[in-house]
Structure formats: C-alpha cells, structure tokens
Amino acid sequence: MRRPFLILGLLAIFLVDCGGDGASAPPTPAAPCSPRVVPGPPTGRIAFHSNRDGNLEIYAMNADGSGQTNLTNNPERDMFPAWSPDGTMIAFTSDRDGNNEIYVMNADGSDVSRLTKDPTADGFPAWSPDGTTIAFASERYGNSDIYVMNADGSGVTRLTDNSAVDSQPAWTPDGKRIVFISDRDDNSELYVMNADGSSQTRLTDSDASEAVPAFSPDGTCIAFESAEADDGGNIDVYIMNADGTGLTRLTDNPAQDGVPAWSPRGSHIAFVSDRDGNPEIYVMNADGSGQTNLTNDPALDAFPAWSPVR
C-alpha cells in the first residue's frame, strides 16, 4: 500500500511500507562495501528529532550522547534535521505555519527562517555538498516528487515527475548525483539520478521496502534501512556499494533498526532502534559492531543527522 511521503501523525521513525509477499531477491554477488575511514572516536554533533517535551522538536547532542539540547522550542512539530556542509546551519521540516514547510536555522537554534511557501507538504531537506542547493520532497503537484532549490529558497526546480512517491533525497559527496526512494515499481526501492534529474536508475530490486539512503563520506557506500518481506517486515540497516552491489546487513535484531546517518569520518553510523522498548538513537561502527544507545530517553528519538565537523 502506498503511503504519503510524510507520515507525521504517527511519529513514525520508519517511513516505508513494510508489507509485501514473497522472499527478497538474493544480493548481487560482489565484494561488500568497505568505505575509507579516518581512525578515531566519533566527532561532531548529531541532530535528531524528539517528542520528549510533548511535541516533535529538533535536538542536538555530542557524538557520545552528552549535551542533549532542544534547539527549536516551538509548540508545533519540527523534524527531519539536515546540517549544512560547513556545520553552521540546520535545515528542517516544520508545520508551524499550518502545513509542512522547510525552514533553516543557525546550528544553535537561532535565526529561524522559512524557505518554502507552498500550501502543500514539503519535507526531507538535504544540502548539496557545496552548500548552494537544497534537495527536498514535495507534494505540490499532487504526489511526492524530488525538487531542488537555492539555499535561500529561490529557484525551485522539479527533478522527478511521475505518479509514484519519490522522497528522501541524499547527495553524493561530490554533488553530482542524488539518491532517493521511489515506489514507482510497486514497493519502495532506492534510485539514483544526476543532480539535474536525468538518468534515473534503480539501485535495489527486491520484495523488501527500502528507505532513508545515506552516502558514506567517501561516496563508495550507501547505508539504508530495509524491511525484509521474508523476515516478517522487520527493519534493519544495510550497506551496499554505490552501484547497488555487495549488499551487507549491519543490524540483525528482532527490533526495528533503521534511519542510518554516517559520521563525518566514515567510521561510525548513527541509527534508530526500538530494541529497548522505544525509539532511541544508537551508534555503531561502520561494520555493524559496537552498537550503543546514545539517548536513553523514554520519548521518541529519531532521524539522526551527523554534522560535517571533523
């Protein structure tokens, strides 16, 4: 069943249809992805959204989970944070003006400004690596498509145009391509296209439902969540080569694990899991080892975004 691209009323952490029949296609036989990493502990800050104060707000914390701070403090829902490439700003989605729009603020939560002004839903902002452009999903023509705009909100351009749900864009580190999800082939799969919308190519092909793609900092790997049809719809974090080969499962837990976000050094991946009874932000090594809870809060904590500061 197709779902809208912004499932917000449920405070969902996993934004895919977990249904489907049959077994997943076997992974393409290829070498597993092994990104280049900068050794050392995780650095930078992690932004995320949480309803611990009664409604969804944007928070930020240190890479070890300390210093958790509410950045938005608004009575409406603020969610889906995305850091600018220089780490000084955060774009996010909010319905504070009556419908879901994209906003931007300084990294400390100050100087909030609205970028999109459309009566339909806009969401899932993603900054281009050079900081000049923001990709996002919008329902302004009746179904969800991928758009880009200048970082000041001007020059909105539609990149995908079909009757499917296209959403959750993420840039390659060189800014030349955008990976996104689409259900144009009946279930949610990962696609990639050039930054101008040309050469849209399917990367995954299974009965599973994939979502929330994220490129490794070196551009060689894509982390994403997948709801395997032959595993009762259980969601786990996977990694694959940028061309879709070498699929490797990183989490294997009866709980729901998803929404991966790479550390700037490529050595760690933040993700969301409800293995402790409610959605929390966890971190693990890029090979799936060392899975550790960072937030430890009874509320929903989800959608981590790692700052680019090294």
CATH for 231? 2.120.10.30
Asked, for residue 36, whether it belongs to a domain, the answer is no
Nearest to 236 by CA among 22, 24, 36, 9: 24
Asked, for residue 160, whether it belongs to a domain, the answer is yes
What residues make up the domain containing 224? 45-306
Q: Which two tokens stand for residue 286?
A: 């890029």
Asked, for residue 5, whether it belongs to a domain, the answer is no
Asked, for residue 15, whether it belongs to a domain, the answer is no
pLDDT of residue 154: 97
Asked, for residue 22, whether it belongs to a domain, the answer is no
Nearest to 304 by CA among 275, 276, 268: 268
User: Is a pLDDT exceeding 50 seen at residue 9?
Assistant: no
Contact between 209 and 18 under an 8 Å Cβ cutoff? The reply is yes
Q: For 70-127, what is each residue's pLDDT tens digit?
A: 999 999 999 999 999 999 999 999 999 989 999 999 999 999 999 999 888 999 999 9
Contact between 48 and 59 under an 8 Å Cβ cutoff? The reply is yes
Asked, for residue 225, whether it belongs to a domain, the answer is yes
Please give the model's pTM, rounded to 2 decimal places.
0.90
Asked, for residue 35, whether it belongs to a domain, the answer is no
pLDDT of residue 231: 57
For residue 233, count CB atoms less than 10 angstroms from its CB and return exposed for 0-12, middle for 13-18, buried for 19 or more. Answer: middle
Pairing label, strands 301-306, 69-70: unpaired
Name which of 13-22, 107-116, 141-150 the model is least confident about: 13-22
Asked, for residue 91, whether it belongs to a domain, the answer is yes
Q: For 31-79, what is each residue's pLDDT tens digit?
A: 888 888 888 888 899 999 999 999 999 999 999 999 999 999 999 999 9
* Count of the separate structural domains present in the chain: 1
